[in-house]
């Protein structure tokens, strides 16, 4: 029987015989294709993952070891060290100055006349102080003349702000604690070669960077300097390269205005104390200093007399006194000959470590003898081991191990001044020599 067209369509649509096999094969082929595609995608993903890990591992093993020449980007500066964020020492005292004066007058009534004759500037002319700046300038001024130090400090500052005047005098004359000075972070991230271009020796560049790093990372700050007692303050600062006990004492008196500091290493203070206590016990002793015991006079350029660079606080309102070698830095650093003043600057110049200390008193005139002798032949005995005879010999130049007085002798002589030794010490500088 012949097959019709409709019957063919009917057979084709019926799921029997060969037609079913064909359909099943097609479905099987599609499934296999889908599975093959999934497997290929899975394989591709799996291949990518090991390669990524391998590449990462390869990068790690191929890392270049750090050397001294490797540049390491510095971390962002702490907020407190950003320009304008530096905390200043406030213009206040932590004690009553009137009580301090009354205490010293009770200890020795000659102080009453001394207070009338001379103002104690560090403790009466109060201004804010920039501690990082004070310490940097102190380091930069070590072992060189005042004019050389002023020039280097200005060049150092100008590296960070080229808009400053080219001449140091034009800047120094109007400088205040809030005027521009580089931040610790800026200095800490300046290389030695760049610092030396401002006139710093290699050692001083290293010292300044060490100090800056400690301020930048918080080991030193205005807050922890203010919070430390006198001994802890000394411990913190002496850890800094280039800072010794003398610099700490000057910083404590003139920047932090600590009331009970006795700088036992300062020969000027020692000589003033000899005159003070010798006059108290012997009215017959005339105070004189031979010419070789005096360093030269003021700088020849009179316009620079009052332009202190304020290494330890606010600038003086009157010219700084002629200070002798007695007030020079004693043992803070090794002699630094890399930076020398010019021949004209080095003639008759006082050490920069004096000139950079503001508000040192003018020497008293010879009329001060009347005040000193007002308590002559006092019955209070001298400390054990001291007599009028050996005080005279010390003042005439017979030192003990390079000093006029030992630390213990200074402690004993000023025991009645405590806890306000700093105020008495200020006036000893004015007694260390007579004004011409």
pLDDT tens digits, residue range 399-416?
A: 888 999 999 999 999 999
420 or 379, higher pLDDT = 420
Q: What is the DSSP letter of 351?
A: B
The answer, yes or no, to whether residue 49 has pLDDT greater than 60, is no
pLDDT on residue 29 = 56
Domain that holds residue 206: 97-431
pLDDT on residue 112 = 95
pLDDT on residue 285 = 55
Among 223, 220, 199, which residue's Cα sits nearest to residue 211?
Answer: 220
pLDDT on residue 284 = 61
pLDDT on residue 380 = 77
The answer, yes or no, to whether residue 6 has pLDDT greater than 80, is no
346 or 249, higher pLDDT = 249
Assign 343 a pLDDT band (cuts: 50, 70, 90). Answer: very low
The answer, yes or no, to whether residue 188 has pLDDT greater than 80, is yes
Residue 185 placed within a domain: yes
Residue 206 placed within a domain: yes
281 or 290, higher pLDDT = 281
pLDDT on residue 291 = 36
Residue 366 placed within a domain: yes
Assign 189 a pLDDT band (cuts: 50, 70, 90). Answer: very high
Structure tokens at 353: 């470590």
Give the predicted TM-score (pTM) of the model.
Answer: 0.69
| Mean model confidence pLDDT for the chain | 73
Assign 398 a pLDDT band (cuts: 50, 70, 90). Answer: confident
Average pLDDT over residues 153-174: 81
Least confidently predicted of 43-47, 55-59, 224-228: 55-59
Please state, in angstroms and rounded to a whole number, the distance separating the CA atoms of residues 291 and 296: 9
Give the model confidence (pLDDT) of 229-247 as tens digits.
Answer: 999 999 999 999 999 999 9
Least confidently predicted of 78-82, 89-93, 370-374, 430-434: 78-82
271 or 358, higher pLDDT = 271
Residue 285 placed within a domain: yes
Q: How far is CA 237 from the centre of its chain?
A: 8
Alpha helices in 255-400 (DSSP H): 267-281, 343-346, 352-355, 368-372, 388-395
Per the structure, how many domains does the chain have?
A: 1
Residue 54 placed within a domain: no
Residue with tokens 């004004």: 435
Alpha helices in 173-244 (DSSP H): 184-188, 192-196, 202-216, 222-227, 230-238
Please state, in angstroms and rounded to a whole number, the distance separating the CA atoms of residues 272 and 324: 11
Residue 21 placed within a domain: no
pLDDT on residue 217 = 94
Give the model confidence (pLDDT) of 286-309 as tens digits.
Answer: 554 433 333 333 333 333 333 333
* CA angle at 142 for the pair 136 and 146, rounded to the nearest 5°: 100
State the CB neighbour count (10 A cutoff) for residue 418. Answer: 14
Please state, in angstroms and rounded to a whole number, the distance separating the CA atoms of residues 307 and 158: 17
Q: How far is CA 433 from CA 63, 136, 257, 393, 414, in A?
A: 67, 29, 24, 16, 20
The answer, yes or no, to whether residue 91 has pLDDT greater than 90, is yes
The answer, yes or no, to whether residue 256 has pLDDT greater than 60, is yes
Residue 78 placed within a domain: no
The answer, yes or no, to whether residue 121 has pLDDT greater than 60, is yes
Average pLDDT over residues 295-324: 35
Q: What is the DSSP letter of 375?
A: G
Reduce the DSSP state of residue 89 to 3 states and report it. Answer: strand
pLDDT on residue 61 = 37
Maximum C-alpha span of the chain:
164
Give the model confidence (pLDDT) of 167-181 as tens digits.
Answer: 877 555 455 666 889
Residue 84 placed within a domain: no
Q: Which of 143-147, 178-182, 253-257 has the highest mean pLDDT?
A: 253-257
């Amino acid at each position: 029987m012949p097959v019709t067209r409709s019957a063919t369509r009917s057979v084709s649509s019926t799921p029997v015989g060969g037609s079913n096999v064909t359909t099943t094969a097609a479905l099987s082929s599609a499934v296999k294709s889908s599975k093959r595609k999934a497997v290929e995608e899975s394989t591709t993903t799996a291949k990518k993952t090991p390669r990524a890990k391998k590449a990462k591992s390869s990068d790690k093993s191929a890392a270049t070891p750090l050397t001294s020449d490797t540049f390491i980007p510095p971390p962002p500066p702490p907020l407190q060290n950003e320009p304008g964020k530096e905390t200043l020492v406030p213009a206040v005292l932590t004690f009553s100055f009137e009580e301090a004066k009354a205490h010293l007058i009770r200890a020795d009534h000659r102080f009453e006349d001394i207070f009338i004759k001379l103002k104690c500037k560090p403790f009466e002319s109060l201004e804010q102080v920039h501690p990082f700046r004070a310490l940097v300038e102190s380091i930069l001024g070590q072992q060189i003349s005042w004019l050389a130090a002023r020039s280097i400090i200005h060049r150092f500052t100008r590296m960070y702000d080229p808009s400053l005047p080219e001449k140091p005098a034009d800047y120094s004359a109007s400088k205040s604690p809030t005027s521009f000075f580089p931040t610790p972070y800026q200095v800490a991230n300046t290389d030695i070669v760049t610092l030396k271009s401002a006139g710093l020796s290699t050692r001083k560049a290293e010292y300044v960077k060490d100090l800056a790093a400690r301020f930048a990372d918080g080991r030193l700050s205005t807050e922890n300097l203010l919070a430390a007692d006198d001994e802890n303050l000394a411990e913190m600062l002496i850890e800094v390269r280039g800072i010794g006990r003398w610099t700490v004492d000057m910083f404590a008196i003139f920047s932090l205005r600590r009331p009970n500091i006795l700088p036992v290493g300062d020969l000027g203070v020692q000589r003033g104390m000899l005159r003070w206590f010798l006059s108290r016990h012997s009215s017959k002793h005339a105070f004189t200093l031979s010419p070789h015991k005096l360093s030269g006079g003021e700088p020849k350029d009179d316009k620079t007399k009052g332009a202190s660079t304020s290494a330890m606080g606010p600038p003086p309102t009157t010219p700084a006194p002629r200070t002798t070698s007695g007030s020079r830095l004693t043992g803070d650093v090794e002699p630094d000959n890399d930076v020398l003043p010019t021949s004209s600057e080095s003639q008759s110049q006082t050490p920069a470590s004096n000139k950079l200390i503001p508000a040192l008193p003018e020497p008293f005139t010879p009329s001060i003898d009347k005040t000193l002798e007002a308590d002559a032949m006092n019955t209070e005995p001298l400390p054990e081991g001291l007599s009028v005879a050996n005080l005279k010999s010390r003042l005439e130049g017979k030192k003990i191990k390079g000093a006029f007085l030992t630390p213990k002798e200074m402690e004993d002589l000023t025991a009645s001044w405590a806890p306000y030794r700093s105020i008495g010490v200020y006036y000893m500088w004015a007694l260390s020599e007579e004004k011409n």
